[in-house]
Amino acid sequence: MKNLNKYIDHTLLKANAIREDIKQLCYEAQKFEFASVCVNPYWVRTCHEILKDTDVMVCTVIGFPLGATSSKSKAEETRQAIEDGAKELDMVINIGLLKANEYKLVVDDIKAVVAAADGKLVKVIIETCLLSDQEIILACKAAMEAKANFVKTSTGFSTGGATIEAVKLMKETVGDQLQVKASGGIRTNDDMIAMIKAGATRIGTSSGIKLIQNEEVEGNY
């Protein structure tokens, strides 16, 4: 497959990342022309300053990694991230509400971020490893109802990452209304291609360089 680099959100979400690590991430993303860098909110302004004259988007995470902060907090975090230069927001749903079948509250939570995003791209992380197939379908429907842009498999910080089965189910559910991002546990070039063939249009990984150079990587994210 051609242009695999354009599928990649070059990711660094570790708590111990320092400024030089973030800068290196940006330089790598620029060199390899990845779709975006994905960083914790504190580092958005740094990435924006480095990448503002490039085609690489700055993506950040909202309500990360548990999704259990209030909708008001998620919305405010979103507004601050955009002010700092974020163009894409990867938000975590309230997983407990979904599993308790409090569907309207899940939709409202996503809507709060979509509204605060003010037209910026919103990817909804549903943490598939914690959900049944029926719950995955429900989460995707909530994201569609809330007018998000993507559904995303995983944070990379829970009990598992993306699977082909989950990506296929998500794509079958959202059809052409939303796109699908696969993240977590993608360790080879073949893994990445399989995710794309299953319906993913973005790949979240901290090992994008190795993946496009067909080198196997270790680790969860």
- Answering whether pTM is above 0.85, one says yes
In this predicted structure, what is the pLDDT of residue 221? Answer: 42
Q: Which of 111, 120, 152, 171 is catalytic?
A: 152
- Residue 90 catalytic? yes
In this predicted structure, what is the pLDDT of residue 215? Answer: 76
| Residue 194 CB partners (closer than 8 Å, separation 6+) | 164
In this predicted structure, what is the pLDDT of residue 15? Answer: 96
pLDDT per residue over 161-188, tens digit each?
999 999 999 999 999 999 999 999 998 9
| Residue 125 CB partners (closer than 8 Å, separation 6+) | 61, 64, 67, 90, 91, 92, 93, 152, 153, 154, 155
pLDDT in tens, the chain (221 residues): 679 999 999 999 999 999 999 999 999 999 999 999 999 999 999 999 999 999 999 999 999 999 999 999 999 999 999 999 999 999 999 999 999 999 999 999 999 999 999 999 999 999 999 999 999 999 999 999 999 999 999 999 999 999 999 999 999 999 999 999 999 999 899 999 999 999 999 999 999 999 999 876 665 44
DSSP symbols for 40-108: -GGGHHHHHHHHTTSSPEEEEEESTTT--S-HHHHHHHHHHHHHHT-SEEEEEP-HHHHHTT-HHHHHH
In this predicted structure, what is the pLDDT of residue 219? Answer: 53
**Domains of the chain listed by start with CATH number:** 4-212 (3.20.20.70)
Q: Which of 74, 87, 171, 181 is catalytic?
A: 181
Q: Which of 90, 109, 111, 171 is catalytic?
A: 90
- Residue 152 catalytic? yes
- Residue 111 catalytic? no
